[in-house]
Amino acid sequence: MNIYDIAKKSGVSIATISRVINGGKNVSKKTYDKVLAVIEEEGYTPNVFARGLGLNTMETIGILVSDVADPYYAQMISYLTTKLHNLGLNVLLGCTGNSLENKNRELQMLLDKRVDAIFLAGSSQQELRGNQAIKSAAKKIPVIMVNGRINAPGIINVASNDQEAIYSSVFKLHNSGFSKPLYVFNTYTYSAHQKMAGFKKACSELGKQKAFLRENMLQLPNTLEEMSAAILKLIDADKEFDCVIGSEDMLAIAAQKALKERDLKMPVIGYNNSILAKVSSPTLTSIDNRLEELCSKAVKLFHETTTGSPSSTYVTLDCQLIERDSFRTENNTK
């Protein structure tokens, strides 16, 4: 059942059918109704390939993410997909893992499918330098980096202010009497670097020496068990710290588990305010990077590109500390 069949059944030309399909401008109400009736009756839907061929778009957006199974990214994909869908756009999903080779291959696959734009979910999609493939993609279609930053023409960046968030958390802990923070992290993404920079800056302003940073910034392994084990080792080696900040909720939870195992109690702060923070016990105080707003903004700026140029190409949102049982500023005594 194609446009010719419908034309025949309706007793009009295919041009008129096309007009009806596309809103019905310049079609008499009578013809319009008649054609629509036939379309409904036959359950006809226009062939997107043919349409795509002529228009060079299939109203499809590509999203690249390292791992949808990660609750934080899952939430991001959920927001993006839903919001894009409200614009009538479908989403092609690409899971890249962390190797550059795979990322580039997935990017190319999306490009080959002629998506209208590409969203990069999280700074794990970007390299610390280079990003050639992404930059050259941005020459052809809009590229929107959600929570990362790549400075090149055609790339829209929407990110939370991670550096400031960690920075001020260190101060909040300090002001509550916890002055020897341990910072745990496990990747070296752009975002991870921002967070570390925040930690270092705060420590330095608080008069910590370099030795302190060496001791109190710990890279953790990949599984929850290994993470906890690494922290236990630290505890048992009598390393000095009186509170913990994790670069992601999972790391903070690993710390909570280790502390619990040694019957230790101290403030713990996570990052992302993911579902894990609510589930953990004690419930985890976590830095919320306002993911939904981030996604809304990203989609909005992308949408602006479809009608002109975006009102901004670099947006930063401040984070917010969501206080739960693992640390409350009001309990400001040690």
Partner DNA sequence: CTGAAAGCGCTAACAT
Partner DNA sequence: ATGTTAGCGCTTTCAG
Residue 113 contact partner, candidates its own copies, DNA, none, CB within 5 to 8 A by sort of partner = its own copies
Does 70 help bind its own copies (rule: CB under 8 A)? yes
Residue 266 structure tokens: 């101290």
The single residue among 28, 281, 306, 332 that binds its own copies, judged by CB under 8 A, is 281
As a whole number of angstroms, the distance between CA 216 and CA 211 comes to 9
Does 180 help bind its own copies (rule: CB under 8 A)? no
CA 60 vs CA 63, 122, 173, 226, 302: distances in Å:
10, 20, 45, 40, 13
Give, as ranges, the residues between 199 and 238 that touch its own copies (CB under 8 A): 224
Q: At 157, is the secondary structure helix, strand, or coil?
A: strand
Find, among 73, 149, 156, the residue nearest to 118 by Cα: 156
Contacts of 70 (CB under 8 A, 6+ apart): none
As a whole number of angstroms, the distance between CA 295 and CA 10 comes to 44
Cβ proximity to its own copies: between 11 and 282 the closer is 282
Contacts of 29 (CB under 8 A, 6+ apart): none
Place of tokens 């975006």: 310
Does 306 help bind its own copies (rule: CB under 8 A)? no
Cβ proximity to its own copies: between 210 and 260 the closer is 260
Does 53 help bind its own copies (rule: CB under 8 A)? yes
Does 40 help bind its own copies (rule: CB under 8 A)? no
CA 61 vs CA 57, 66, 88, 143: distances in Å:
10, 17, 10, 10
Give, as ranges, the residues between 8 and 37 that touch DNA (CB under 7 A): 11-19, 21-22, 26-28, 30-32
As beta bridge partners, residue 259 has: none
CB of 260 to its own copies, least distance (A): 7
Contact stretch for DNA (CB under 7 A) within 3-11, 70-78, 118-126, 172-180:
3-11
Four-CA torsion 304, 305, 310, 313, nearest 10 degrees: 130
Q: Residues binding DNA: what is the number (CB under 7 A)?
A: 30
**What does the DSSP 8-state code read for residue 123?**
G
Give, as ranges, the residues between 38 and 77 that touch DNA (CB under 7 A): 44, 46-47, 49-51, 53-56
- Residues of this chain that bind DNA (CB under 7 A): 2-4, 11-19, 21-22, 26-28, 30-32, 44, 46-47, 49-51, 53-56
- Residues of this chain that bind its own copies (CB under 8 A): 45-50, 52-53, 56, 58, 60, 67-71, 73-75, 77-78, 81-82, 85, 90-95, 106, 109-114, 224, 250, 253, 256-257, 260, 275-276, 278-281
